[in-house]
Amino acid sequence: MQDSYHVITLEVAGDPVDFIPAFNHIKKDLLRYNAVRDVINNLKHDKLVGIRIKQEQIPHHYIKKHDVNAVFKVDLPGYWRLIYGILVIHGEKKALLMELFDHEKYNKRFGY
C-alpha cells in the first residue's frame, strides 16, 4: 500500500497600493528581493514566517483596510520590514502581503 500525501498550498496576494509598488521597485539582484521571494514561497507552502504582532499592537490601518487580526512582521535586509496578514475567506486561509517599507516608515506606521 502506498502512502498518500496531501500538499497544502496557500494563496498569497499583495496589496496593490502598499505592497506591489514597493516590491516592484526593488532591484531583482538585491538580497531584499530574494528575501521577499523566500517569504512568498514559504507562505505558499503554508509555512508562517516572521513574528506575530500582538493584537493590541496591530495598527488600526490594517484592521480597517484588510479586516485582519493575525498580523506578522518579517525583518528583511537593509532594515526593511514586510507586514502580512492571514485571512480566512469563505473557509479558505489566505496570506495577504500588506506592506513593504523601510524601518523609518515602519516606525511611523506602528507609532514608535
pLDDT of residue 107: 96
* In the chain, % of residues over pLDDT 90: 78
- Please name the amino acid found at residue 92: E
Q: Is residue 26 part of a domain?
A: yes
Residue 35 has pLDDT above 70, yes or no: yes
**Averaged pLDDT score across all residues of the chain:** 91
Q: Is residue 33 part of a domain?
A: yes
pLDDT tens for each residue of 37-84: 999 999 999 899 999 999 999 999 999 999 887 999 999 999 999 999
Q: Is residue 43 part of a domain?
A: yes
Look at the chain and report how many structural domains it folds into.
1
